[in-house]
Structure 1
């Protein structure tokens, strides 16, 4: 029988919660980096003189570089050193945010977003193996819930912070710069913590150093790359989860990127109230992620994921029609935030279960490739759809993509099982 959350937490080693707490703090910042600009798209459009589609490209650039560097960071975490992967990515992410705060032109903003994407790329490949090796099996779902809670709070912070800064009469650059300064300080502090205070059995690579050296000896880069790809191909469950992650991420980022715009233009809310609704959705999600983690430990991952994606599809469809009162629309945004957070710990448990021995970091990097491809595709695609077909059509598209996720999850569980 599964123990209660409180009893399981009491039995966990102290190092478990040190590691889970540290990576959750890092996840908080990385997720804040990802949503710095959706809350102020209207402000950025006026300042840089570009439309929503162009700003969608700026958001997509971050997702594209994030995608491109997932597997290199996964290889670094699995074969060399997780602390190095963690520190390098954390510092680069903060530097990119600071560059964005100073951006004088749209082109500069694109470059800064690319640097942010490279930095954020390393957090999943480093974070998940650290949690996996530091956490007992019977507490894994709840540990991922704490991690997801940190990420949800990170998503919730920029809408309130930036809307408050702008409403107070200050430049958006002040708020973005503050996030970058705090992020750089935390990156240095947490990297020191992992290097000095956490056991090498947790922070070290997934393979012994001599085995890795022997495997690399006398082999060309091309041969090593082919071997790497063969290992990925030998993990069909992980690849299927990555495809599912692409679909759910496309829906999620399509909703997140433009919900503030929809609430302003479609439901008549002010910028501050629309951003407050977005923050509320993340706060509801921060609570719901604990429910999802507990359910994935007590029941199983598959039903939790199916229920989550189905609920998101239905709620977004109602929101997209634009026929409800503004207060009801805000309630729908809150419910969507909670529904989509339920699936996070369940997907993490499946990834951990499907990952081949010695490839945990790489497996989570593969999943994040799917997530970040969705991040790269959704903002420009749905931004273009809004400008050509209208808000309602774009958000009905989000609902349709979420419904596709339900179908794919049913097929995935039927084929590969439920951890």
Structure 2
């Protein structure tokens, strides 16, 4: 009966939910790059090393990861909408704090606040999508969700670098805060479309306790996949601009636009990946593994030093396309591993692996960067991505067998 009701949902209603959730997701990804994009400025202004900058991002993602694992329980208990609203307001406030930072300590406070604001979006988003979007359209919903996230990443370099060049970096953070506030007001206006039902733990099928899902091995395999695959993404976001400048002596603007091209290619990949996920939902783990393998090989080629500047920038952008195609199948893979009634908790825990990967990677590869091992940084990221391939296939085996 539920399936029939969902199938009868008008496309316009599903599209409205997908669009609003996608906008919120874009704002989350936008927040990921607010600090690393200003690394060259922070080096000049505050005299910071790459290791110190990497630790700044580790603070962001440690706070986000701890918050994300907890946010899933809050979402299941109180609903997704109020949590989403609170997160957007915290992000807006964090940008204002960043704009007034006078030292490394001030940047640290801003990083922690940005991490707190970012933490809830995955459990919030997937709870809304799984409750509000009809099942036959979930593959497309996951595709749009991933696409808008990558568009948020792609918009950040253009917005932050553009505004800081026109005015200064402090004005850029004020502008970012106004963006978050504007998104909050729009979602508040359309609040009925994203209203969800709270899920009490007693209602979770096959679960007598709210933490019972932690005993399911496949949940931890999913966590491991996100941790490893995200470590590679963190290298691209945090250090790709500096690597391109150091290895190939390209301009800051050209290197930054390469990062934007990577994110746009990933967004295009997400669009294609939505059709792939809808066409082969049962092979989601194999789709993910194939895409990550191609991306790892391309990234290793960039790190080898065999290519000139232009070829390296093109191939690095193409890496985003390969990863993007696997995105919707990745979300479908997680959905298949999620027990009924525990969406917020499972997505919160699994996607906290993303934050752990983002937190670990800058600490490890920041040391590489400080030693001038620029090519090795990309090669190391490629090796970690290859490790995630085996984990994705492990998720598929354990989902199939129970």
For residue 248 of structure 2, give the secondary structure of its aligned residue in structure 1.
coil
| Residue of 187, 190, 196 corresponding to 2:187 | 190
RMSD: 2.3
State the partner residue of 1:4.
none
TM-score (norm. length: structure 2): 0.92
Paired with 1:199 and 1:275, the residues of 2 have a C-alpha distance of 35
Q: Against the structure 1 CA distance between its residues 330 and 309, is the aligned structure 2 distance closer, same or farther, given a 3 Å change threshold? A: same
Shift of 1:397: 0.7
Work out whether residues 12 and 136 of structure 1, in 8 Å CA contact, stay in contact via their aligned partners in 2.
no
Number of residue pairs the alignment of both structures matches: 392
Paired with 2:267 and 2:397, the residues of 1 have a C-alpha distance of 29
Q: Against the structure 1 CA distance between its residues 105 and 402, is the aligned structure 2 distance closer, same or farther, given a 3 Å change threshold? A: same
For residue 205 of structure 1, give the secondary structure of its aligned residue in structure 2.
coil
State the partner residue of 1:328.
311
Q: Against the structure 1 CA distance between its residues 159 and 199, is the aligned structure 2 distance closer, same or farther, given a 3 Å change threshold? A: closer
Work out whether residues 213 and 346 of structure 2, in 8 Å CA contact, stay in contact via their aligned partners in 1.
no
| Residue of 242, 252, 274 corresponding to 1:261 | 242
Shift of 1:191: 3.4
State the partner residue of 2:400.
417
The equivalences for 1:238-277 within 5 A come to 238-277=219-258
Work out whether residues 41 and 55 of structure 1, in 8 Å CA contact, stay in contact via their aligned partners in 2.
yes
- Does residue 337 of structure 2 align to residue 354 of structure 1? yes
Paired with 2:254 and 2:309, the residues of 1 have a C-alpha distance of 11
State the partner residue of 1:229.
211
Shift of 1:161: 2.1
Work out whether residues 53 and 380 of structure 1, in 8 Å CA contact, stay in contact via their aligned partners in 2.
yes
Shift of 1:418: 9.7
- Does residue 144 of structure 2 align to residue 149 of structure 1? no
**CA offsets, 1:216-247, max 9 Å, x none?**
xxxxxxxxxx94333322x3222211111101
Q: Against the structure 1 CA distance between its residues 367 and 231, is the aligned structure 2 distance closer, same or farther, given a 3 Å change threshold? A: closer
- Does residue 82 of structure 2 align to residue 89 of structure 1? no
Unaligned runs of 5+ in 2: 1-5
Q: Against the structure 1 CA distance between its residues 319 and 258, is the aligned structure 2 distance closer, same or farther, given a 3 Å change threshold? A: same
Paired with 1:376 and 1:159, the residues of 2 have a C-alpha distance of 21
Paired with 2:36 and 2:265, the residues of 1 have a C-alpha distance of 19
The equivalences for 1:12-411 within 5 A come to 12-168=10-166, 170-194=167-191, 197-198=192-193, 200=195, 203-207=196-200, 227-233=209-215, 235-299=216-280, 300-388=283-371, 390-411=373-394
Work out whether residues 98 and 181 of structure 1, in 8 Å CA contact, stay in contact via their aligned partners in 2.
no
Shift of 1:98: 2.1
Unaligned runs of 5+ in 1: 1-7, 213-225
Work out whether residues 71 and 366 of structure 1, in 8 Å CA contact, stay in contact via their aligned partners in 2.
yes
State the partner residue of 2:3.
none
Shift of 1:340: 1.3
Paired with 2:57 and 2:155, the residues of 1 have a C-alpha distance of 18
Shift of 1:9: 11
Paired with 1:258 and 1:315, the residues of 2 have a C-alpha distance of 17
Paired with 1:343 and 1:95, the residues of 2 have a C-alpha distance of 34
Work out whether residues 288 and 392 of structure 2, in 8 Å CA contact, stay in contact via their aligned partners in 1.
yes
Shift of 1:361: 1.0
**CA offsets, 1:163-192, max 9 Å, x none?**
223444x31122222111110221233134
Paired with 2:122 and 2:221, the residues of 1 have a C-alpha distance of 18
Q: Against the structure 1 CA distance between its residues 314 and 9, is the aligned structure 2 distance closer, same or farther, given a 3 Å change threshold? A: farther
**CA offsets, 1:39-95, max 9 Å, x none?**
331111111111111011111111000011112211111112211111111211221
Shift of 1:101: 1.9
State the partner residue of 1:218.
none
